[in-house]
Structure 1
């Protein structure tokens, strides 16, 4: 049985996780360069139509050290991509689609929960790929004697 849909969804989900890595790197850079960011916002306050309260709110956002901080937004997508590759290898040649489905579902759901909905699109793609892996059964072959 061909597993084209599952493989395609897994690859697209992994690509979206790459975007999460880029966002995490940007967030980490912003956390480490607060002074530059603050100067930039105050110097371009009129251009971006920011009030002082908007700038203070942005500073508070980057002062918070939540679970969705930059390092976590880099490490978790890398783990999700690695697990997705493992699931794709298990799908290749229809070796173990049940194990691949469980990996896809667990990765997609846990990532969305841990990041509080941060990677919902990639999580949904992994979830759909996992459900397809578990529900699609090969057609029985009829042996003629």
Structure 2
């Protein structure tokens, strides 16, 4: 049985996690670049004065932590997705691959505080398809 749909969904999910990894990398870069980060904070304060933002240092620390979580979580999700897609190749272990897809989707969505939900949806659908689809029985 071909698992083309699951692999395609896995690739789309990995690309979406790659996009999140880029966003996480930009956030980490912003934290380490003092002038740009200060300008970003000042712009947020001037555009939305009704927002009660924390002081600059607390904002910078939480911003950097968010970026690191996004970056590491996304990279791990991509790695696990690639391993799951390798397991799907040749229909070797679709159940294991499905469990890997589902666990990764749920964990990264929770760890990233919902940021990885859209990317995780592709992994979740691929995982469910891996577990539900049965090979065709040959009638002899």
Shorter-chain TM-score category? 0.7 to 0.9
How far the C-alpha of 1:140 sits from its partner, in A, is 0.5
Q: Hey, what's the Cα distance between the residues in 2 that align with 1:21 and 1:78? A: 7
How far the C-alpha of 1:41 sits from its partner, in A, is 6.0
Q: Residues 97-143 of structure 1: CA distance to partner in whole angstroms, max 9, x if unpaired?
A: 00100000010111001111111011111011000000000011112
Tell me the secondary structure at the aligned position of residue 76 of structure 1: helix
Per mean C-alpha deviation after superposition, the further-off stretch among 68-77 and 132-141 is: 68-77
* 1:89 and 2:86 matched: yes
Q: CA, structure 1 residues 33+56, in 2 after alignment: closer, same or farther (shift >3 Å)?
A: farther
Q: Give structure 2 stretches of 5+ with no counterpart.
A: none
Aligned length: 138
Q: TM-score, normalised by structure 2?
A: 0.85
How far the C-alpha of 1:56 sits from its partner, in A, is 5.1
* 1:120 and 2:122 matched: no
Matches within 5 A, 1:36-75: 36-39=36-39, 42=42, 50=47, 59=56, 60-64=58-62, 69-75=66-72
Equivalent position of 1:102 in the other structure? 99
Per mean C-alpha deviation after superposition, the further-off stretch among 92-101 and 71-80 is: 71-80
Q: Hey, what's the Cα distance between the residues in 1 that align with 2:63 and 2:38? A: 18
Q: TM-score, normalised by structure 1?
A: 0.82
Q: Is the 8 A contact 2:18 2:74 kept in 1?
A: yes
Equivalent position of 2:33 in the other structure? 33
